[in-house]
Protein backbone atom coordinates (compact mmCIF):
# COMPACT_ATOMS: atom_id res chain seq x y z
CA UNK A 1 0.00 0.00 0.00
CA UNK A 2 1.33 3.42 -0.97
CA UNK A 3 1.73 5.41 2.21
CA UNK A 4 3.62 7.85 4.38
CA UNK A 5 4.47 6.37 7.76
CA UNK A 6 5.20 8.51 10.78
CA UNK A 7 6.38 7.36 14.18
CA UNK A 8 5.49 7.73 16.94
CA UNK A 9 1.79 8.61 16.76
CA UNK A 10 1.80 10.12 20.22
CA UNK A 11 4.68 11.50 22.25
CA UNK A 12 4.88 13.27 25.58
CA UNK A 13 8.29 14.65 26.47
CA UNK A 14 9.92 17.17 28.77
CA UNK A 15 11.40 20.51 27.85
CA UNK A 16 14.92 20.23 26.49
CA UNK A 17 14.99 16.50 25.81
CA UNK A 18 16.02 15.89 22.20
CA UNK A 19 13.60 13.88 20.11
CA UNK A 20 13.19 12.63 16.55
CA UNK A 21 9.98 11.98 14.67
CA UNK A 22 10.54 9.60 11.80
CA UNK A 23 8.88 9.75 8.40
CA UNK A 24 9.14 7.22 5.61
CA UNK A 25 7.39 6.96 2.24
CA UNK A 26 7.26 3.97 -0.11
CA UNK A 27 6.19 5.80 -3.29
CA UNK A 28 9.62 6.91 -4.53
CA UNK A 29 8.52 10.52 -4.11
CA UNK A 30 11.14 13.22 -4.54
CA UNK A 31 9.44 15.99 -2.55
CA UNK A 32 8.84 15.68 1.19
CA UNK A 33 7.68 18.19 3.75
CA UNK A 34 6.88 18.63 7.42
CA UNK A 35 3.87 20.60 8.66
CA UNK A 36 2.52 21.46 12.05
CA UNK A 37 -1.21 21.85 12.61
CA UNK A 38 -2.51 24.12 15.33
CA UNK A 39 -6.14 25.13 16.02
CA UNK A 40 -7.13 28.23 14.09
CA UNK A 41 -3.81 28.35 12.23
CA UNK A 42 -4.23 25.55 9.73
CA UNK A 43 -1.13 23.74 8.51
CA UNK A 44 2.16 25.59 8.50
CA UNK A 45 5.24 24.31 6.73
CA UNK A 46 8.31 23.67 8.85
CA UNK A 47 10.85 22.30 6.36
CA UNK A 48 10.76 20.71 2.96
CA UNK A 49 13.09 18.67 0.78
CA UNK A 50 13.11 18.63 -3.01
CA UNK A 51 15.38 15.58 -3.16
CA UNK A 52 18.15 13.74 -1.34
CA UNK A 53 20.50 16.15 0.45
CA UNK A 54 18.36 19.15 -0.61
CA UNK A 55 16.39 20.75 2.22
CA UNK A 56 15.07 24.24 2.87
CA UNK A 57 13.16 26.18 5.48
CA UNK A 58 9.43 26.60 5.39
CA UNK A 59 7.47 29.24 7.22
CA UNK A 60 8.10 28.13 10.83
CA UNK A 61 11.54 26.44 10.95
CA UNK A 62 12.78 27.78 14.31
CA UNK A 63 13.60 25.02 16.77
CA UNK A 64 13.53 22.22 14.19
CA UNK A 65 16.07 20.38 12.08
CA UNK A 66 15.68 17.90 9.25
CA UNK A 67 17.88 15.69 7.11
CA UNK A 68 17.35 13.80 3.84
CA UNK A 69 20.06 11.20 3.49
CA UNK A 70 17.83 8.71 1.70
CA UNK A 71 14.98 9.35 -0.68
CA UNK A 72 12.40 7.54 1.42
CA UNK A 73 13.19 9.03 4.85
CA UNK A 74 12.78 12.56 6.16
CA UNK A 75 13.13 12.73 9.96
CA UNK A 76 12.17 15.80 12.00
CA UNK A 77 14.49 16.60 14.88
CA UNK A 78 13.74 18.78 17.87
CA UNK A 79 17.09 19.43 19.54
CA UNK A 80 15.66 21.17 22.61
CA UNK A 81 11.87 20.99 22.60
CA UNK A 82 9.86 23.74 24.27
CA UNK A 83 6.18 23.86 25.24
CA UNK A 84 5.35 26.08 22.24
CA UNK A 85 6.26 23.13 20.03
CA UNK A 86 3.32 21.18 21.41
CA UNK A 87 1.36 20.48 18.25
CA UNK A 88 0.13 17.93 15.72
CA UNK A 89 2.83 17.20 13.16
CA UNK A 90 2.36 15.82 9.66
CA UNK A 91 4.85 14.53 7.18
CA UNK A 92 3.83 14.68 3.53
CA UNK A 93 5.30 13.62 0.21
CA UNK A 94 4.68 14.36 -3.45
CA UNK A 95 6.04 12.84 -6.69
CA UNK A 96 8.14 15.75 -7.96
CA UNK A 97 6.67 18.89 -6.54
CA UNK A 98 3.80 19.78 -4.20
CA UNK A 99 1.82 20.79 -7.30
CA UNK A 100 1.02 17.13 -7.81
CA UNK A 101 -0.76 17.05 -4.45
CA UNK A 102 0.50 15.72 -1.15
CA UNK A 103 0.12 12.31 0.44
CA UNK A 104 0.08 12.90 4.20
CA UNK A 105 1.04 10.64 7.06
CA UNK A 106 -1.35 9.99 9.94
CA UNK A 107 0.26 12.55 12.19
CA UNK A 108 2.28 12.73 15.40
CA UNK A 109 0.73 14.43 18.39
CA UNK A 110 3.54 15.90 20.43
CA UNK A 111 3.16 17.32 23.92
CA UNK A 112 6.11 19.11 25.54
CA UNK A 113 5.75 19.68 29.28
Partner 1 sequence: QQQVKQSPQSLIVQKGGISIINCAYENTAFDYFPWYQQFPGKGPALLIAIRPDVSEKKEGRFTISFNKSAKQFSLHIMDSQPGDSATYFCAASSFTSGTYKYIFGTGTRLKVLA
Sign of CA dihedral 34, 13, 87, 81: negative
Contact between 48 and partner 1 per CB under 8 A: yes
Residue 41 sits in the site that holds partner 1 (CB under 8 A): yes
Residue 35 has φ and ψ, to the nearest 5°, of -125, 155
- What is the rounded CA–CA span in Å between residue 46 and residue 33? 8
Site residues (CB under 8 A) for partner 1, limited to 53-92: 56, 59, 90, 92
Stretch that binds partner 1, among 11-19, 20-28, 43-51, 73-81 (CB under 8 A): 43-51
Rounded CA-CA distance 76/89 in Å is 10
CB of 49 to partner 1, least distance (A): 11
Of 14 and 54, CB closest to partner 1? 54
Interface segment toward partner 1; rule CB under 8 A; list 13-21, 67-75, 79-87, 102-110: 102-110
Please report how many Cα atoms fall inside a 13 Å half-sphere around the Cα of residue 14, on the Cβ side. 1
* Residue 56 CA to its chain's centroid (Å): 13
Interatomic CA distance for residues 79 and 18, integer angstroms: 5
Q: Which is nearer to partner 1, 6 or 85 (CB)?
A: 6
Q: Please report, as ranges, the residues that interact with partner 1 according to CB under 8 A.
A: 4, 31, 33, 35, 40-45, 48, 50, 56, 59, 90, 92, 97-99, 101-107
Amino acid sequence: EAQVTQNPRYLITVTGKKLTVTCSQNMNHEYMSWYRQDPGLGLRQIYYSMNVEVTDKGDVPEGYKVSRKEKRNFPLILESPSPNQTSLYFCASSPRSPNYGYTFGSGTRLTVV
